């Protein structure tokens, strides 16, 4: 059974020496399948504290398409040509813009 620990950074080496392991995904120290937790008693969460690992942060959301439309020279491509090459249709749009 896994038991999460609240190990201060200054005491991490001692916890590691006693057999605690670091969970990088949840950023928490833990011990697994330890019958006697006496050696880890000072790092055990209090009775009222949550012993679970912290919840993962939500993934960063991408900006909506409207936020990407910046500048006076922006226009959407209506074709599949690479934007740096431009097809006759794209070139006609740029010519009509009078930039």
Residues 16-62 have pLDDT tens digits of 999 999 999 999 999 999 888 999 999 998 876 655 555 555 566 65
For residue 67, pLDDT over 70 is answered with: no
For the sheet with 28-32, list strands across it: 2-5, 28-32, 21-23
CA separation for the pair 27, 4 (Å, rounded):
10
At residue 71, the pLDDT reads 74
Q: What is the mean pLDDT of the chain?
A: 79
Q: Please report, for residues 67, 83, 85, 91, 95, the alpha-carbon distance to residue 75 in angstroms, rounded to integers and kept in the order given.
A: 13, 11, 15, 12, 12
Q: Are 87 and 79 in contact, with CB atoms under 8 Å apart? A: yes
At residue 63, the pLDDT reads 54
Q: What is the pTM of this model?
A: 0.49
4 beta partners: 30
Q: Where are the domains of the chain?
A: 2-43, 65-97
């Amino acid at each position: 059974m896994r038991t999460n620990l609240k190990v201060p950074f200054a005491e991490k080496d001692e916890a590691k020496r006693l057999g605690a392991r670091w969970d990088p995904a949840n950023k928490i120290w833990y011990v697994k399948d330890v019958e006697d937790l006496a050696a880890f008693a000072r790092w055990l969460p209090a009775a009222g504290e949550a012993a679970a690992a912290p919840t993962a942060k939500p993934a960063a959301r991408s900006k909506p398409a409207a936020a990407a439309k910046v500048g006076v020279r922006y226009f959407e491509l209506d074709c599949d040509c690479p934007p740096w090459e431009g097809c006759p249709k794209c070139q006609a749009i740029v010519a009509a813009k009078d930039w």
